[in-house]
Homo-oligomer: A and B are copies of this chain.
Amino acid sequence: MLRESVDGLKWLAETQSDAMVLTSSGTGAMEAAISNTISPGDRVLSLVCGVFSERWAKLASAFGAEVERLKVEPGKAVTAEQVRAHLEKSTTKFHAVTITHNETSTGVLNDVQQIGQAVRQHGALSIVDAVTSFGATELPIDKWQLDVVVSGSQKALMLPPGLGVIFFGPKAWEAKSKCKTHSFYFDLNKYKKSLQEDTTPFTPNVSLIAGLQASIKMMKEEGKEAIFARHLRMRESLRSGLRAMGLELFVNDDCASPSITSILPPADLSVDKIRKTLKDRYRIIVADGQEELKGKIFRIGHMGYVFDRDILMTLASLEAALTELGHDCRANEAVKAAAALLSSTSR
């Protein structure tokens, strides 16, 4: 089961890097990324555009790194140009740059391919959080030459939470060999060695590895390109329906996430009321904004096991909920707009 799962993860990431499965949350995989590559005092640049990209900075700091932040406004992406400029003006070299592929707290997809190139040219390790992007959009690790990529079981891999995933490339192993950080549970040397015997160093979450084997099989049947296209279709149809409803989207089209969409509530309604009505009436749970965005946006996830009908259901329910709350949803055009887009797309 483990062997098939690991091979499947490598297939999905188009990589020869080592893929390892950890019994942990996605944050555990992030800790594995940092604790195997960063020594106290190492300079780390964290690209921050929301809660999860800020987590990289906190994590690296906790392990003694000297962290610098390149921060953009929530709802915006960090661009490769900004990264390049920041790295070029720096007088001393950065050991690593942390990147958040899909910033779940805002619904922004960062251009990891271009950013990764800038990081590589600077000579730093690229450490990528792909928790909510891996499996939802392309992330060809070898082609994009990324060093460390982490993800978790509960997003586009379609499983319950409880497994972390980490890809660790040659430059990362080289960094590991010089790394002075204490670690034991997340020591990747142990996982690599155990994997040679198709096992893990510590009792793993067996149920979820069985699940991963099954979800990889489903993904192979659907096909990588078809999965990624489906996520784009989810994004486009949802956004078109939301706009038809007269709602304002938090993120511009050019960096909108294929796996989660943030929406501003209408001026006359609170996020709390919208969330409560959707949950009580329609059993649909949408997320609040996090930290500074709490109450300012709500977020609809559409990663993994999500299909055309779910978008239609969500739009129809949201429209009904807003109408019930007294908001004028124009001519109830949301479902129609989304359905038109869905019907016109080949799959």
Contact = CB atoms under 8 A, between A and B. Distances in A.
A184 interface: yes
A31 interface: yes
Interface string A188-216: 00000000000001111111100000000
A35 B30 CA distance: 17
A64 interface: yes
B203 A152 contact: yes
A185 B28 contact: yes
B160 A26 contact: no
A32 to B, nearest CB: 9
Nearest to A22: B24
B59 A184 contact: yes
A160 B210 CA distance: 12
Q: Give the top 3 A-B pairs by smallest Cβ distance, nearest first.
A: A162-B205, A31-B185, A62-B184
A160 B63 contact: no
A40 interface: yes
A97 B35 CA distance: 25
Contact of A62 (B25, B154, B187, B202): B187
Nearest to A59: B184
B23 A184 contact: no
Q: How many protomers of this protein does the assembly include?
A: 2
A329 B121 CA distance: 72
Nearest to A155: B203
Contact of A203 (B154, B186, B187): B154
A62 B207 CA distance: 29
Contact of A182 (B26, B64, B204): B64
A205 B160 contact: yes
23 contacts: A23-B25, A23-B161, A24-B185, A25-B202, A25-B205, A26-B202, A26-B203, A27-B202, A27-B203, A28-B185, A30-B185, A31-B185, A40-B182, A58-B184, A62-B183, A63-B184, A160-B205, A160-B206, A161-B203, A162-B205, A162-B208, A182-B182, A207-B207
Contacts of A201: 27
Contacts of A79: none
Interface residues of A, number: 36
A82 interface: no
Contacts of A59: 184-185
A62 B190 CA distance: 13
Interface string A150-169: 00101000001110000000
A206 B208 CA distance: 12
A129 to B, nearest CB: 13
A41 to B, nearest CB: 12
Nearest to A31: B185
A181 interface: yes
A207 B160 contact: yes
A290 to B, nearest CB: 13
Interface string A60-91: 00111000000000000000000000000000
Contacts of A162: 23, 162, 204-205, 207-208
Contacts of A181: 182
A193 to B, nearest CB: 14
Nearest to A185: B31
Contacts of A24: 23-24, 28, 185
Nearest to A62: B184
